[in-house]
Structure 1
Amino acid sequence: MSILFLTSEDFQLRTGDRGAMLCLKNSHEYPGLALVLYYSNDCPYCGPVIAKFKELPSRVTGCTFAMCNVSHAMDVVETSKNTISPIRYVPDLVLFVNGAPFMRYDGQQEVAAIQNFLHDVYNKLQHKTAFASSEAPPNATAQQPRAHHFSEPPTG
């Protein structure tokens, strides 16, 4: 799997239960998990994180990986300022679920740590979805998990 490179054209504002959200524009193109790295060419800390980020697609399946160079997309940063997930610094890793911001990764900037984070979130989302399905009446549809980070995972 490769890494997508996002521009300001790939984002849009949406309103959710918790307020304005900077979402991936074509959420149907990003089903499930998508990890976005916001970075800048001028950031001395970004280079090592970018190198490690580029290893992730070969180690993690079931997740889309994308990068956004805010040096070339300052309007993305500006648009994010009044949302529930503002971009305040780089490097910044944000996990999206079905195109909506879900959780910011603030852990160790190591491949294994990021990989474990993604696996943990995926497993928790699967477990909560399975639990919701088993508790639902026979003809009811399963609810998406109710986690409160940036937003609740949107339904597909």
Structure 2
Amino acid sequence: MNLPANITPIATSLPSSIRSLLFPKDRQNGSGELSELPGDQPSQKFWSQVEHHNTRINSRLANEIVLALPIELTSDQNIDLVRQFVSEKLTSRGLVADWSYHAVPENPHVHIMVQTRPLSENGFGPVMKPVLDNEGNISRDKTARFSIPFSV
């Protein structure tokens, strides 16, 4: 499998307090990248800033999205698909996504960590939460399969 040079393990570079919350011990290895960081900050530095900015003891620093990817596509095609999804659905809203691609035979998938506060010209904005339906599931726009509405 040929992964692009900018794909690096993310879980090992995260602050331990975030890593232990978001990744069980059996899932702390993988390949991924951090998208659209200000000033090309490394992943660890960014997540340390997120942790520092959220001062409440019960702050939620990130949400995790796990997506199954088509086994019919190559690793490069799946990575392109992930980049497109992250760009169109997350970073276009000011959210930073740190993702880890797993090329598991018969189960290629990606883990995407999305910060809860979008980046703005003034730093971190207010927390964005997915809108939930009456059953507590993420509400989806009826006109688009992967359009997830957010509220502040």
**TM-score (norm: length of structure 1):** 0.32
TM norm structure 2: 0.32
